[in-house]
A and B are shown apart, each in its own frame.
Chain A
């Protein structure tokens, strides 16, 4: 099993009365709540944490894209990933990902991902989300009725830009480019960097991932219990399509808090978890469902009640209804796994096997968790949990993992040494 360390980069100083005074953490969150001087420290702490996770031996570090969002300070995950490329050596860099329809032209994504792949020596995982309604339709003004069609076309364009050897003209429904010829080109060119698709629970997405041979990632904030039906639906669909049950076809997001004991874990992680599920997910329902964002097939499935079984959190409105904000419900619901290392080992093995997920993306920082606590959680997980869960799925080959250049061929990146001030 691959253990991947994911950062959302939440703003950690939303006020206690945030939910009372502000309608939404997303889209129209007020600028007065953002202190750039505090954000300076947050960004640097977060990047320290990602680098620390790489040092601790996680298989990958993961970043993602959000806009106008108080719990996600990465409008451009590529900026963070490029810095991480220089400060890590062997860890995969999972950009989860770039919302393709937001880039004009979409070849921008092909270029920037190729840059990250070159700088990192071929360690990129290229995530292509459609993007949430809040990010795409509201913050970025994309038309919900055209978003998916634009997304699929942008995908086709990016993939061709990576794989075609000669300059070509692209005459699409939404994109017209006479000269597509990206420089640089990705190191991973056989045929291209691994493509992973974070999605809700729609059958169309599952089928598309199967057809394209991409990794499907279910990035819910609601943990393995809520995610079970979705992943069961996914595997059932794979079976129908004649695909094997290779667990590396799938990724799944899970919050974890590990400590010496369950009580200590509760003491340490209650505040950041309640901060996340309380303040960070305080999203105004009016931004949940722009018409056209959810396909009619998915609506139909939802209304028919299949969604309750197959993908109960595909639409954000349903997500909101599930929301628990106190630690007892958060833990009981499986949103956050907590406990001693032994207890967490047992739960992680259960998550892996019950969902059949080979790529486990772990949120070990959440809400307003401090850097010290985050590093503690990260180190304890790496030392006491990871060695006892890594063996899961060892019989399967991960065909969707980056294939970097050999270590000996990669550039040596010297550590940064600031000039000492001579004045004293």
Chain B
């Protein structure tokens, strides 16, 4: 597994890390809850067929303190738009998962020219009182791994401090990622995205981990129905909320199949 190249772009004066790996048409990836404190096998799967470009959202690992100036949902959307532009992703295919999935959908809705084909993995943005999402910010620490992944060790591996990590700053960065998600999606994850889904014309694949304990898999259909462009859903077996951690190959295969 070779290393990606790392560059930095600035959004609102704050640095955001951009990873790039592979060759072929560009595919942007906006990661889910917790962000990407480290490179993961899923991205290698995608890089086999695509130039994978992974910008860090403000506040997530690699995204410094950029979230602290984002007060409104519009602030967030404009920041993500700038991030995509500066990462060279304007007009490219876009994949987003969880919190990143919500922003990917927003980009396709609000800035239609920005996204060619769209792939979403269990995106935030909706809330159904009859089938409520779990509260990811009110969890005892030991419950979090099994909430995020069907195989809790996958989450633990994501957030484990690497050798040589700063033992003070690493845990603070992990909390910051949860804070950045909270800043945009507290308290219910409901950004009223449903109002904007009908603006999405891009062909869209909606993937959902069969064992998602954060967002009910029933939400997949709500997305597919509301999106105006061709949209279909697909369930990933043996996968939780962060399906790309649980089943990197199956998710990558589905995404690449959709993008063609």
Write the residues of chain A forming the contact surface with B, with a CB cutoff of 8 angstroms. Answer: 137-138, 141, 143-146, 173-174, 284-287, 290-292, 296, 299-300, 303-304
Contacts and interface: CB of A to CB of B under 8 A. Distances in A.
A285 B186 CA distance: 19
A290 B136 CA distance: 10
A145 B180 contact: yes
B192 to A, nearest CB: 15
A143 B186 contact: yes
B218 to A, nearest CB: 24
21 contacts: A137-B186, A137-B187, A141-B186, A141-B187, A145-B182, A174-B71, A284-B140, A285-B140, A286-B138, A290-B138, A291-B176, A291-B178, A291-B181, A292-B183, A296-B172, A296-B176, A299-B171, A299-B175, A303-B167, A303-B172, A304-B168
A300 B137 CA distance: 20
A291 B67 CA distance: 13
Contacts of A292: 178-179, 182-183
A140 B67 CA distance: 22
Q: Is the interface of B mostly helix, strand, loop or mixed?
A: helix
B139 interface: yes
Nearest to A145: B183
Contacts of A144: 137, 179, 182, 186
A146 B183 CA distance: 7
Given A290-B182, A292-B178, 18 more contacts: A137-B186, A137-B187, A143-B182, A143-B183, A143-B186, A144-B186, A286-B140, A290-B138, A291-B179, A292-B179, A292-B182, A292-B183, A296-B172, A299-B171, A300-B172, A303-B168, A303-B171, A303-B172
Nearest to B139: A286
Contacts of A141: 186-187
For the complex of A and B, the 3 pairs showing the least CB-CB separation, nearest first, are A145-B183, A292-B179, A291-B178
Contact of A145 (B167, B168, B171, B179): B179
A138 B138 contact: yes
A300 B166 CA distance: 12
Pick from A173, A292, A303 the residue with the most CB of B within 10 Å: A292
Pick from A138, A290, A299 the residue with the most CB of B within 10 Å: A290
A377 B81 CA distance: 64
Nearest to B142: A285
A291 B143 CA distance: 15
B48 to A, nearest CB: 35
B211 to A, nearest CB: 21
Contacts of B176: 291, 296
A401 B180 CA distance: 41
Nearest to A292: B179
Nearest to B174: A291
A145 B67 contact: yes
Nearest to A173: B71
B140 to A, nearest CB: 5
Contacts of B137: 144, 290-291
Contact of B182 (A174, A291, A296): A291
A252 B183 CA distance: 33
A284 B186 CA distance: 19
A140 to B, nearest CB: 9
Interface string B175-219: 110111111001100000000000000000000000000000000
Contacts of B179: 144-145, 291-292
B145 to A, nearest CB: 15
A304 B166 CA distance: 12
Interface in B25-69: 67-68
B22 to A, nearest CB: 33
Pick from A143, A173, A284 the residue with the most CB of B within 10 Å: A143
Contacts of B172: 296, 299-300, 303
